Amino acid sequence: MRAVLVVNPQATSTTAAGRDVLAHALASELKLDVVETQYWGHAAETARAAVEDGVDLVIAHGGDGTVNEVVNGMFAADAASRAMPTLGVVPGGSANVFARALGLPRDPVEATHRLLRAVAERRSRSVGLGRADNRWFTFNAGVGWDAEVVAEVERLRSRGREVTPALYARTALACYFRMARSEPRISVQVGDEAAIEQLHSVFVSNTDPWTYLGSHPVRMSPGTSFDTGLGVFALRSMRMYPVLRQVVEMLRGRAKPHERSSFRRADVAHLRVTCTEPLRLQVDGDCLGERSVVEFFSVPDALRVAV
């Protein structure tokens, strides 16, 4: 079986020695090429070339951003006459939300052994994906608060700050106080329903948990999985008590609808988010800049993943 291992050497929990061990283990069972990414977009380029070359397995070793790049590269390939390769994931980031949602081990060595067993036994599962306009996402996307947090954490990381759950929590709090003074600028239309207006932030889930704070899962859309449509959660109010109540319930795994302060939908095939002025969009923890309109789609059975 031909495989390409796409490695992000800048990922939080990867080391040169660890990468060598993983590559050696994979090469013992696979006809393996290893590519270490050198710049943003390199993982996508590598995955696209792998699909066009007829590779059987594309393995992403890095964080959720690396996985997202690889997935988008695979779907960008001009390979209509070829079967899409299976995706393999070896976690190497800090949160690894996609891998954890699939039930994969967080330890890279254990994950590699699990991947090799899956390949030997031809074991894989079909996974639905989300799409924000033309960008695919594996586990979440959002417009508003979460995108502001992602953008600020990216800025801090570029200045040398270590990305930790504590940094995310502090940044989320700072962004909340800034946004709490703003007027609601977002409307959401789910399918053919009437648009819901006067919203502050929209969170779109492709699976649950939506993300993690360290070891704590954030359960925003408990009814959402890789086998359903998208989960949608939006804030009608940024007042402290309603927001704090929602956050506590999410961390306890008891997310509940509170119609006065939030809006929820489950198993959504399509939604349209419109902003009265451009707001930031994030997908899988990657800020894509500002948008005035975003179309979200659920794409069932989009990809096969070795598990």
| 3-state secondary structure labels for all residues of 221-276 | CCCCCCCCCEEEEEECCCCHHHHHHHHHHHHCCCCCCCCCCEEEEEEECEEEEEEE
Q: What is the reported pLDDT for 254?
A: 67
Kindly state whether residues 114 and 250 are assigned to the same domain.
no
Single out the residue in 122, 150, 171 at which a domain terminates.
122
Is residue 27 domain-shared with residue 118, that is, in the same domain?
A: yes
CB contact at 8 A, 58 and 70: yes
Please report whether residue 132 resides in a domain. no
Q: What is the pLDDT of residue 88?
A: 98
Report how far residue 156's alpha carbon sits from residue 163's, in angstroms, rounded to the nearest whole number.
Answer: 8
- Structural domain includes residue 127: no
Count structural domains, the chain.
2
> Are 86 and 189 found together in one domain?
no
Check which CATH number belongs to the domain holding 25 and give it.
3.40.50.10330
Query: How high is the pLDDT of residue 81?
Result: 57
Domain that holds residue 274: 137-300
Q: Output the 3-class SS for 160-176.
A: CCCCCHHHHHHHHHHHH
Q: What is the pLDDT of residue 299?
A: 98
Question: Residues 286, 158: one domain?
Answer: yes
**pLDDT for the residue numbered 306:** 97
Q: Model pTM?
A: 0.92
User: Which residue, 67, 95, 122, sits at the end of a domain?
Assistant: 122
Note whether residue 131 is domain-resident.
Answer: no
Q: For residue 62, tell me if it sits in a domain.
A: yes
Pair type for strands 230-235 and 262-268: antiparallel
User: Is the residue at 286 inside a domain?
Assistant: yes
Instruction: Tell me the sheet residues that pair with 287.
Output: 282
Same domain, 78 and 156: no
Predicted confidence at residue 257, as pLDDT, reads 60
pLDDT per 10-residue tile (average), the chain, 307 residues: 93 76 92 94 96 96 95 87 88 91 93 95 97 97 96 91 88 93 95 96 95 85 95 94 86 70 94 97 96 98 97
